[in-house]
Structure 1
Amino acid sequence: MTVWNVMYEDWQLECCGDRFAVGDEVTWQLLVDATASKREWAAELAVIEGPVESAGGGPVVSSGGVTVPWTGTGAWPPRLHLKGLLKVERHGGKWPRTTGVVRGIQVVSQGYREENLVPGERRLRPVDRCPKRFAHVGRAAAGEKLRREETGVLVALEVVE
């Protein structure tokens, strides 16, 4: 069994996600966000490496019990190496889902100055159950330069390989 860190963004959950708790079995479509900041997410970045295969919704790569879509172009390589943040995708195409057991949940909050994300201002707060709604603050509190937004949950997902 392998434990993967998976980001479930606030808007995805609030739109059409179901609440879950530590110990629950879940089935999600996952993808690799290669644009995630290596500085901010260093410990959570996943490496998915394996052969590109054909699935009902298009080419996918499977590794360590996780299946993600291959979004590259050109000829298929015999093996593919994807690195980035695993994310739940509720609004994309159709590809095989990943099933696992939730071993941990942390609410992610991020500091912003005006509309810009502030590096190093990410906070994680452990919870036993995923919230359905997240704290969204339109501006900084009085006397503060930094505003904090809850941007989703980071889930420790244990999958069978």
Structure 2
Amino acid sequence: MTVWNVMYEDWQLECCGDPFAVGDEVTWRLMVDTTAPEREWRAELTEIEGPVESAGGGPVVCSGGVTVPWTGSGAWPPRLHLRGLLRVEHHGGEWPRTTGVVRGIQVVGQGFLEENLVPGKRTLRPVDRCPKRFEHVGRAAAGAKLRREETGVLVALEVEV
């Protein structure tokens, strides 16, 4: 068994997902977001390395019980090393899904100044059940421009290797 950190963004869950609880078995399409900022996500970033195979009509990498698409261009390399944040993806295409058991859920809160994300202002709040809706109207102190919004959940997903 391997436990992976998986980000499930608020809009993905609200659009096309179903709430889940700790202990539930879930099946999701996952992808690696290689653009996740190192400063904000250092502890949650993951590395996936393995052979590139054809599945679902495109190249994928299978490693540690998860399958993710390779979105590069050109000829497929024989092996690939990806570093980034695992994310649930409902809209990106067709590739094999990953099944696992939810071992932990944390609601991700983020600070914003006007429309810009503020580095270093992320919070994680443990919950037993994932909400279907998130707090999108930021709450700011009177006269303050900094507001907080819930941007999704960080899930500890245990998968069989």
Q: What is the identity, as a one-letter code, of the residue corresponding to 1:70?
A: W
| Aligned residue number for residue 37 of structure 2 | 37
Distance 2:96 2:141 in 1: 43
Superposed displacement of residue 57, structure 1: 3.0
Distance 2:56 2:101 in 1: 25
Q: What is the identity, as a one-letter code, of the residue corresponding to 2:108?
A: V
Superposed displacement of residue 139, structure 1: 6.5
Q: Unaligned stretches of 5+ in structure 2?
A: none
- For the 8 Å contact 1:44–1:85, the answer to whether it is kept is yes
- For the 8 Å contact 1:49–1:63, the answer to whether it is kept is yes
Percent of paired sites with the same residue: 85
Superposed displacement of residue 77, structure 1: 1.4
Distance 1:23 1:122 in 2: 25
Q: What is the identity, as a one-letter code, of the residue corresponding to 2:107?
A: V
Distance 1:18 1:102 in 2: 13
Distance 2:69 2:132 in 1: 27
Superposed displacement of residue 81, structure 1: 0.4
How many residues align structurally?
A: 161
Superposed displacement of residue 20, structure 1: 0.2
| Aligned residue number for residue 159 of structure 1 | 159
| Aligned residue number for residue 129 of structure 2 | 129
Matched, 1:90 2:90: yes
Superposed displacement of residue 56, structure 1: 1.9
Matched, 1:117 2:117: yes
TM-score when normalising by structure 1: 0.97
Residue-by-residue CA offset, 1:91-122 (whole Å, 9 max, x unaligned): 11000000000000000000000111110000
Q: Unaligned stretches of 5+ in structure 1?
A: none
Matched, 1:71 2:75: no
Superposed displacement of residue 141, structure 1: 3.7
Return closer, same or farther for 1:138/1:105 CA change in 2, 3 Å cut-off: closer
Distance 1:95 1:75 in 2: 18
Q: What is the identity, as a one-letter code, of the residue corresponding to 1:26?
A: V
Superposed displacement of residue 132, structure 1: 0.3
Matched, 1:16 2:11: no
- For the 8 Å contact 1:31–1:89, the answer to whether it is kept is yes
Q: What is the identity, as a one-letter code, of the residue corresponding to 2:38?
A: K
Distance 2:152 2:145 in 1: 22
- For the 8 Å contact 2:138–2:148, the answer to whether it is kept is no
Distance 1:81 1:147 in 2: 37
Residue-by-residue CA offset, 1:37-69 (whole Å, 9 max, x unaligned): 011000000101000000023110011001000
Distance 1:15 1:45 in 2: 25
User: Following superposition, which runs of at least 4 residues in structure 1 exceed 6 angstroms of deviation?
Assistant: none
Distance 1:160 1:57 in 2: 24
Q: What root-mean-square deviation, in Å, do the aligned CA atoms of Structure 1 and Structure 2 show?
A: 1.0
